[in-house]
Amino acid sequence: MTNAVSPADHYRDLAAKFTAIVDAVPTDRWSSPSPCDGWTARDLVQHVVDTQREIVTRVGLELPPGPSPEADPVGAWAATRDGVQEILDDPARGNLEYDGHFGRTSLAATVDTFYTFDLVVHGWDLARATGLDETIAAADLDFVESAAAGMGESIRMEGVCGPALEVPEGADRTTRVLAFLGRQA
């Protein structure tokens, strides 16, 4: 997928939206079950932190250490976000290449598609788990639909998205998109 904005700016925008949700989670809701089977709200943040910390290692980079999501999910996400953003803001590092699932790619291209996709979808998951506003902006739904289509059958790989769910006739767009991703809105 090609965005009109740079990968660094796309990440900045979607990371800010994810941050707003993380920052709004009430302290007593971090153990709330999420739409991801067997995961709590804290587990969602752990997953996002872990996967973003891991992807930069594919090109020989490492993020500065931060707090653990177990002890400080807000701080852990902030440290991870800031580290990824710093890399993306430096084209020499962001454009480092590696052999990915779909062939030769760059770190920035991977973050711009899959890891920003994760921020939107897991942002919804986190909002649902903790009773926050679950609204996904229309432009972000456009992006998620396009990114999911670009993944083809790989969207159903273990650890990505579950099987598509049936939706009632006349379901709204958000419900349809989330159902395609295996989520009950």
**pLDDT at residue 1, rounded to an integer:** 45
pTM exceeds 0.85: yes
Distance CA(88)–CA(132), nearest Å, equals 29
Q: Which helix (H) or strand (E) holds 108?
A: helix 107-110
Task: Say if residue 23 is exposed, middle or buried (CB neighbours under 10 Å; 0-12, 13-18, 19+).
Answer: exposed
Lowest mean pLDDT among 118-127, 130-139, 153-162, 171-180: 153-162
Q: Give me 48's structure tokens.
A: 């996002």
**The pLDDT of residue 159:** 67
| Confidence band of 2 (pLDDT split at 50, 70, 90) | very low
The answer to whether 109 and 139 have CB atoms below 8 angstroms apart is no
Tell me: the pLDDT tens digits for 14-54?
999 999 999 999 999 999 999 988 999 999 999 999 999 99
**184 CB contacts (<8 Å, ≥6 apart)?**
35, 165, 178
**More reliable by pLDDT, 5 or 40:** 40
